Amino acid sequence: MNPLGIHALVWAGDVSPESVKKIISSSKEAGFDLIEFSLHEPKPLDFGYTRELLKEFNIKPAFSRGLAFNADVSSDDPAVVARGVALLTEAINITQQLGGDYFGGVPYSALGKYNHPITAQGRKHVVETLRRISGEAADKGVKIGLEVVNRYESNVINTARQALELIDEVGTGNLCVHLDTYHMNIEEVDFVRPVLECGDKLGYVHIGESHRGYLGSGTVDFTAFFHALAQIGYTGPITFESFSSTVVAEGLSNDLAVWRNLWNNGMDLATHAHAFISAQAKGAGLGITDRPY
Ligand code: MN
């Protein structure tokens, strides 16, 4: 069965000890196996305390972040690229220290709206950076995921095919594609073909509604998506991602354009999401090998 995950921002926008306790205990209570922590602004997270709680609640961590315009590995400026590389190195180290084996998100770009296409030099910097950090991450037992995001959040890759081309160009084995139904709904032709094209290069999945609120209340065709996951025999994590102005993380919420209230009660949202994802997975036959059809 695929590990089911939930983004920490459903519970809290900071990583104070009280918030970390809430994030970990609430995720477990809602039935999840994995928590995705954002390292968008890595505030002093208490490593020992967090590791202990993760162990106590028997829940796995995954980590994600995007870069910033002044620390961007897709920039033409080597000094800006170097600041981006430093953020990535830090994120990989945190992932390892907290016992995680996955760091994903947007390690190839700033998270935001560019006002120009990527340059040839910028693209070269992305490839060189990913080659370097994926090697370093491999030595630490950390896999790097390239989340395919929409055109308003990056100008480097916006479709699964572009992610696969980038991975080919980098040419290391430690990169995978990370698909998110919220972004797919904006950029892809449908919810099936990108999944089939990725095949075993798909390493991580975000389940998000078209407005990032309650699953089933928007326009994403989850049935098609889960059937495609079943068709490729996807065994990786499936992580629920949802954002509301109820829970705000300084910086990240603004970069993700979280302007509206989509929900008030994180526990109600999360238990519904767990039931929804489980039902979709079971209906599609994900991980089930004895279906007669
Ligand atoms: Mn996502």
Name the band, by pLDDT with cuts 50, 70 and 90, for residue 291.
Answer: confident
Does the annotation mark 29 as catalytic? no
Whether the predicted pLDDT of 7 surpasses 70: yes
Q: Mean pLDDT in the chain?
A: 96
Tell me how far the alpha carbon of residue 280 lies from the centroid of ligand 1, in angstroms.
19
Kindly state the average pLDDT of the residues 39-65: 92
Residues with CB under 5 A from ligand 1 (ion): 180, 206, 241
In the reported structure, the alpha carbon of residue 86 is separated from the centroid of ligand 1 by a whole-number distance in angstroms of 22
Q: How far is the CA of 180 from the centre of ligand 1 (A)?
A: 5
Residue 239 has pLDDT above 90, yes or no: yes
CA dist list (Å): 104 to 53, 264, 283:
22, 27, 28
Mean pLDDT, residues 260-286: 96
Condensed to tens digits (0 to 9), the pLDDT of residues 201-215 reads 999 999 999 999 999
Can you give the pTM of this predicted structure? 0.96
Rg of the chain over CA atoms, in angstroms?
18
Of these residues, 90, 128, 147, 153, which one is catalytic? 147
Distance 293 CA to ligand 1 centre (A): 32
pLDDT of residue 30: 98
Distance from the Cα of residue 62 to its chain's centroid: 9
- Ligand 1 center to 190 CA (angstroms): 17
Q: How confident is the model at residue 42 (pLDDT cuts 50, 70, 90)?
A: low
**pLDDT tier for residue 167 given thresholds of 50, 70 and 90:** very high
How much distance in Å is there from the Cα of 206 to the middle of ligand 1? 5
Q: Tell me how far apart the alpha carbons of residues 181 and 67 are, in angstroms, rounded to a whole number.
A: 21
Instruction: Say yes or no to pLDDT of 17 above 90.
Output: yes
Are residues 120 and 128 in contact, defined by beta-carbon separation less than 8 angstroms?
no
DSSP the chain: -PPEEEEGGGT-SS--HHHHHHHHHHHHHTT-SEEEEE-SS-----HHHHHHHHHHTT-EEEEEEEEBTTB-TTSS-HHHHHHHHHHHHHHHHHHHHTT--EEEEEEEEESS--SSPPPHHHHHHHHHHHHHHHHHHHHTT-EEEEE---TTT-SS--SHHHHHHHHHHH--TTEEEEEEHHHHHHHSS-SSHHHHHHGGGEEEEEE--TTSSSTTSSS--HHHHHHHHHHTT--S-EEE----TTS--TTHHHHTT--S---S-HHHHHHHHHHHHHHHHHHHTTT------
Whether 209 is catalytic is: no
For ligand 1, the distance from its centroid to the CA atom of residue 233, given in whole angstroms, is 21
- Contact between residue 157 and residue 116 where contact means Cβ atoms under 8 Å apart: no
CB 208 within 8 A of CB 186: no
Mean pLDDT, range 116-123, rounded to an integer: 98
Alpha-carbon gap, residue 216 to 39, rounded angstroms = 28
Catalytic residue among 197, 209, 241, 250: 241
Question: With pLDDT > 70 as the criterion, what percentage of the chain qualifies?
Answer: 100
